[in-house]
Amino acid sequence: MPHLYVEYSANLPGLPEQQMLTELVSAVCSHPSIVDEFDVKGRIAATQQYVIGTGAGPRGFIHADLRLLSGRTPEAKKELSDLIAEVLRRLTPHPMGMLVQVSVEITDMDRASYHKSKL
């Protein structure tokens, strides 16, 4: 059931969307808390309209949100966050003179009301 959402400011040209997503999904699947690789669904999109803070100078960001069914330990969540951050940091371009923020958020989804099935 993990859902992974990646979004980044559109001023990071050349970001390898498909490669990044493939590596992120592999990284998440490599963690022992993930039972079925099939369940990991990743998406990536560039954000066209954004504002980063109030200061001057070129700025960019990339942000990932991994949504997991509730019940993972804090340690597992931190490890997953670190695995994701490693890929983001390695594959995100940082144009000269631009400050690029990287962030990862792990979100619990309510297990009791979660529906999952296949067609």
- Say whether 48 sits in a helix, a strand or coil: coil
**59 with 99: CB under 8 angstroms?**
yes
DSSP H/E element including 82: helix 74-91
Among 13, 14, 32, 53, binds a copy of itself (CB under 8 A): 53
Does 59 help bind a copy of itself (rule: CB under 8 A)? yes
Among 13, 18, 96, 97, binds a copy of itself (CB under 8 A): 18
Q: Single out the residue of 13, 16, 35, 41 in contact with a copy of itself (rule: CB under 8 A).
A: 41
Q: Does 16 bind a copy of itself (CB under 8 A)?
A: no
Per DSSP, the three-state class of 2 is: coil
One of 32, 35, 51, 97 touching a copy of itself (CB under 8 A):
51
Q: Is the dihedral of CA 90, 94, 97, 101 positive or negative?
A: negative
Closest CA to 95 of 6, 4, 5, 8: 8
| Contact flag: residue 50 with a copy of itself (CB under 8 A) | yes
Query: Which positions ≥6 away from 50 have C-beta within 8 Å?
Result: 9, 10, 61
Nearer to a copy of itself by Cβ, of 14 and 54: the residue is 54
| Residues at the site binding a copy of itself, with contacts judged by CB under 8 A | 1, 3, 7, 17-18, 21-22, 24-26, 29, 36-45, 47-55, 59, 61, 63, 67, 74, 77-78, 80-82, 84-85, 89, 92, 94, 99-110, 112-119
